[in-house]
Amino acid sequence: MFRIASCVLLASGCDCYGSHVAEGETDADIDADTDTDVDSDTDTDSDSDSDTDSDSDSDSHTDSDSHTDSDSESTSDTDSESDTCPDLDGDGWDEWDCGGDDCRDDDPTIHPCASDGTTWNIEMVSASGVHQAGALAVAPDGTLHAASWDQTDLLYFRNEGDGWATEVLVEGDGFDGFWYPDIDVGSDTQPRIAFPDDGTLRVATRGDDGAWDFEDVDDDDVSGWYPSLVVLPDDTIRIAYLGSGDDELRWVSNAEGGWSASVVDTGEILAFMVAFNPLVVDADGEGHIAYTVNHTPFGVGEQDYELLLATGRDDVWTTESIERGPRSGEWTSMVLDDTDALRLFYSSGEDGDMWSAEGSPGAYARTMIDEGPDAGRDTSAAVDASGVVHVAHTRSLPEGGWRVRYTSDADGEWRTETVNEDCTGGFGEWTSIAVDGGVHILFAKNEAGAGAPLEHAYQVPAVVDAIDQDCDGVADE
């Protein structure tokens, strides 16, 4: 269009393509320079400056500013931000020497969020729904099994190493659904799931063909809330749960073939405090149940909680107090370690610190593991084949929400780290932990405005390379 207009306006010497040879020039354009474009500079591009690019500034980059980089913002670095720190390796972190956080801006694998030693990979299990208190188990063959209630349906998830498959186990009709299911795996490597369903405690067992068998276990007086499930080596089942609303702690067993339920304790038992795994069964078949009672009605003065431990089976139980005080025994989880000692993990004190209590009936030593605020929330514990204890829990953030934390005694002392830093996604709660050769943590990524999708974090082994990958001044920590 431009060339045709030039022919019309200048008339002489113009052909239909707009070429023109003026007297004394050697090029074929209409200006007074020696190049073949129609501007008055000495280069061959179509702008009016003397560089070789096609923009309107005088540098040699095809952007519209006048500095010597290739972006179009007003700073002399190579990124598109309005600062003066370059991101030379394109990893999203600015160069250290000019005030950025990247200690090696020539290597995109080195930056503050890089892995430097054992790290956590986080993957999505279920992106939809508002998940609460999912439960996780790992089979001897390495298959991961999980159950969760998304405030609509009871869901089952399975991962054989090639991604998560989802199955709707029981369809729900709203908020009064399948609160806090629990899951364990039998000798056949297939899962069992305990869950409440309209006031009835039920157990679902998956067969080798993928079909599910459902059993009604206890339908007496609003039963089945907050079950804690253990499948023994002979594939018989023990479950601790709440019945009669929140007023009875119950135990049920199918050791004799049919289901037989008994009452362990009565009182104002704090329902949400037994939502994780407070039941273990020892080699003699004795059950141990950790639970919390409230001695002061809600809203009346300081909360007076007591963490209790019940030991027994069927209709014979003894109870002892582990701790009493403000918030004692919130979010309790328990394991039996390789020395047959009971290890309890729970929140205690006004700040919600995470504590452990370990020993045997009548003699428990208490230790604070992680200082608050609310560092002992959502505890879930497991013991691996070498006797190492692993605990998942959460800690609150000043701005609201929680971070998932991981604690273990692999080195002979307790060490704690954050699983989902800002780099890997931020918020998380309602943890469940399982161990095989590695550590797996299931949690809900509960973030305001984003629902609560279900995620799986798993450890990746350390790489020893003497390089400070995360720019914290320490290599291979």
Give the pLDDT confidence of 307-341 residue by residue, as tens digits.
999 999 999 999 999 999 888 888 899 999 999 99
Q: What average pLDDT does the structure give for the chain? A: 80
CA distance 121 to 190: 26
289 belongs to a structural domain: yes
pLDDT confidence tier of residue 290, bands split at 50, 70 and 90 = very high
- Average pLDDT (124-131) is 86
Question: What is the model's pLDDT at position 462?
Answer: 64
| Residues 218 and 298 placed together within one structural domain of the fold | yes
pLDDT confidence tier of residue 172, bands split at 50, 70 and 90 = confident
- 132 token code pair: 């609460």
58 belongs to a structural domain: no
pLDDT confidence tier of residue 157, bands split at 50, 70 and 90 = very high
| Residues 168 and 294 placed together within one structural domain of the fold | yes
Question: What is the model's pLDDT at position 169?
Answer: 95
Give yes or no for residue 42 having a pLDDT over 90.
Answer: no
9: Cβ contacts below 8 Å, ≥ 6 apart? none
70 belongs to a structural domain: no
336 belongs to a structural domain: yes
Question: What is the model's pLDDT at position 246?
Answer: 65
| Residues 305 and 411 placed together within one structural domain of the fold | yes
Identify the helix (H) or strand (E) that includes residue 10. helix 2-10
Question: What is the model's pLDDT at position 40?
Answer: 55
Give the Cβ contact number of residue 432 at 10 Å: 27
- Average pLDDT (254-275) is 81
| Residues 170 and 34 placed together within one structural domain of the fold | no
Point out the least confidently predicted range of 77-81, 158-162, 435-439: 77-81
282 belongs to a structural domain: yes
Nearest alpha-carbon partner for 131 in 111, 106, 149: 149
Give yes or no for residue 353 having a pLDDT over 50.
Answer: yes
CA atoms within 13 A of residue 425's CA, in its CB half-sphere? 24
Domains in the chain, number = 2
Question: What is the model's pLDDT at position 400?
Answer: 75
| Residues 36 and 142 placed together within one structural domain of the fold | no
Bridge partner list, 252 = 239, 261
439: Cβ contacts below 8 Å, ≥ 6 apart? 390, 406, 408, 433, 458, 459
413: Cβ contacts below 8 Å, ≥ 6 apart? none
Nearest alpha-carbon partner for 326 in 365, 344, 352, 300: 352
CA distance 433 to 137: 8
Question: What is the model's pLDDT at position 39?
Answer: 53
Question: What is the model's pLDDT at position 460?
Answer: 73
CA distance 316 to 329: 23
CA distances from 23 to 6, 12, 27 (A): 17, 12, 10
Question: What is the model's pLDDT at position 250?
Answer: 94
CA distance 43 to 400: 60
Point out the least confidently predicted range of 11-15, 101-105, 472-476: 11-15
Question: Contact at 8 Å (CB) between 305 and 295?
Answer: yes
| Residues 353 and 268 placed together within one structural domain of the fold | yes
241 belongs to a structural domain: yes
pLDDT confidence tier of residue 87, bands split at 50, 70 and 90 = confident
Beta strands in 244-315 (DSSP E): 248-253, 260-266, 279-281, 287-294, 305-313
Higher pLDDT, 13 or 399: 399
Question: Contact at 8 Å (CB) between 18 and 4?
Answer: yes
Question: What is the model's pLDDT at position 116?
Answer: 62
The DSSP 8-state label assigned to residue 313 in this structure reads E
Question: What is the model's pLDDT at position 97?
Answer: 82
Give yes or no for residue 449 having a pLDDT over 60.
Answer: no
The DSSP 8-state label assigned to residue 231 in this structure reads E
Higher pLDDT, 172 or 207: 207
Give yes or no for residue 121 having a pLDDT over 70.
Answer: yes
| Residues 149 and 21 placed together within one structural domain of the fold | no
Question: What is the model's pLDDT at position 88?
Answer: 85
Question: What is the model's pLDDT at position 146?
Answer: 98
| Residues 41 and 128 placed together within one structural domain of the fold | no
Identify the helix (H) or strand (E) that includes residue 346. strand 342-348
373 belongs to a structural domain: yes
CA distance 389 to 383: 5
Question: What is the model's pLDDT at position 93?
Answer: 77
Tens digits of per-residue pLDDT, 128-146? 878 877 999 999 999 999 9
- Average pLDDT (110-127) is 77
Point out the least confidently predicted range of 68-77, 81-90, 385-394: 68-77
Give yes or no for residue 53 having a pLDDT over 60.
Answer: no
Bridge partner list, 251 = 240, 262
| Residues 217 and 353 placed together within one structural domain of the fold | yes
CATH code for the domain in which residue 359 is found: 2.120.10.10
Give yes or no for residue 77 having a pLDDT over 50.
Answer: no
Question: What is the model's pLDDT at position 66?
Answer: 44
Higher pLDDT, 368 or 3: 368
Tens digits of per-residue pLDDT, 239-264? 999 887 668 899 999 999 999 999 99
443 belongs to a structural domain: yes
Question: What is the model's pLDDT at position 420?
Answer: 81
Question: What is the model's pLDDT at position 33?
Answer: 56
Nearest alpha-carbon partner for 419 in 463, 476, 474, 378: 378
Point out the least confidently predicted range of 193-202, 293-302, 365-374, 398-407: 293-302
- Average pLDDT (263-276) is 72
Give percent of the chain with pLDDT exceeding 70: 74
**Residue 13: domain span:** 1-48
Point out the least confidently predicted range of 74-83, 340-349, 421-430: 74-83
**pTM, to two decimals:** 0.75
Give yes or no for residue 7 having a pLDDT over 60.
Answer: no
Question: What is the model's pLDDT at position 265?
Answer: 92
| Residues 175 and 305 placed together within one structural domain of the fold | yes
| Residues 229 and 322 placed together within one structural domain of the fold | yes
Nearest alpha-carbon partner for 156 in 202, 209, 201, 212: 212
Question: What is the model's pLDDT at position 204?
Answer: 98
- Average pLDDT (394-399) is 84
| Residues 159 and 28 placed together within one structural domain of the fold | no
